[in-house]
Chains A and B, each alone.
Chain A
């Protein structure tokens, strides 16, 4: 079946540091890939998505590129802010689980001033 693997956290950075959170996936077919963010006390929000190979999703300074050859969708941001502190989830839809989301384990990010 489909699966998503994220780098283990927690990740702690200073403000304005560069962020990378690795995500790799296993799926048949051509899944869509997503990054969700969960701020403290809130529900998950879609951060960005990519629906086909080589697509780049971007939002709020975050970027991720759908790499089919390496089955990866790493999340990056050039300069993080304290307000980016949250839990980040990589997810896929499609493959063998059309319409359903398969999540990675989540990565806790803490950004210090």
Chain B
């Protein structure tokens, strides 16, 4: 099946610094990628949707200047948490979907990245 990787799997950073998380589709072209946040014992919350070559669409309440998303190629999307604070500590998960835009193909999920801000 389709494989999505994330890097790093875990990252610890100091408050005020920025952290970049990569999401790659390894064996298919991802026209759309999604970024989720998962709090302990809670569900996945969609943060934003990105289409290759376009600006990301952020969900209500998500700060676009804080969570910078870039989807520069059909196999790579990045999430940069800028000026991170302890409340940004969370589990970040990406998913990727191939096929034509606007058509609901299956999403394939990465293993997630655990971010801890000290």
Chain A interface residues (CB < 8 Å from chain B)? 32, 36, 41-46, 89, 93-94, 98-106
| Neighbouring A residues of B93 by C-beta, 8 Å | 43-44
Contacts of A94 on B, CB cut-off 8 Å?
Answer: 104
Beyond A45-B109, A100-B46, A101-B95, 12 extra complex contacts between A and B, CB < 8 Å? A36-B109, A43-B111, A44-B95, A44-B109, A46-B106, A94-B104, A99-B32, A99-B49, A101-B46, A105-B43, A106-B41, A106-B42
20 contacts between A and B (CB under 8 A): A32-B104, A36-B109, A43-B4, A43-B93, A43-B110, A43-B111, A45-B109, A89-B44, A93-B104, A94-B104, A99-B32, A99-B103, A100-B34, A100-B49, A101-B34, A101-B44, A101-B46, A101-B95, A101-B107, A106-B42
Bound-state CA distance A42–B107 (Å) is 15
* Chain B residues packing against A (C-beta within 8 Å): 4, 32, 34, 41-44, 46, 49, 93, 95, 97, 102-104, 106-112
A89 is contacted by which of B43, B49, B97, B108 (Cβ under 8 Å)? B43
- Which single member of B43, B46, B108, B111 contacts A42 (CB below 8 Å)? B111
Q: Knowing A100-B46, A105-B42, A106-B43, say if A43 contacts B109 (CB, 8 Å).
A: yes
| CB-based contact B43/A103 at 8 Å | yes
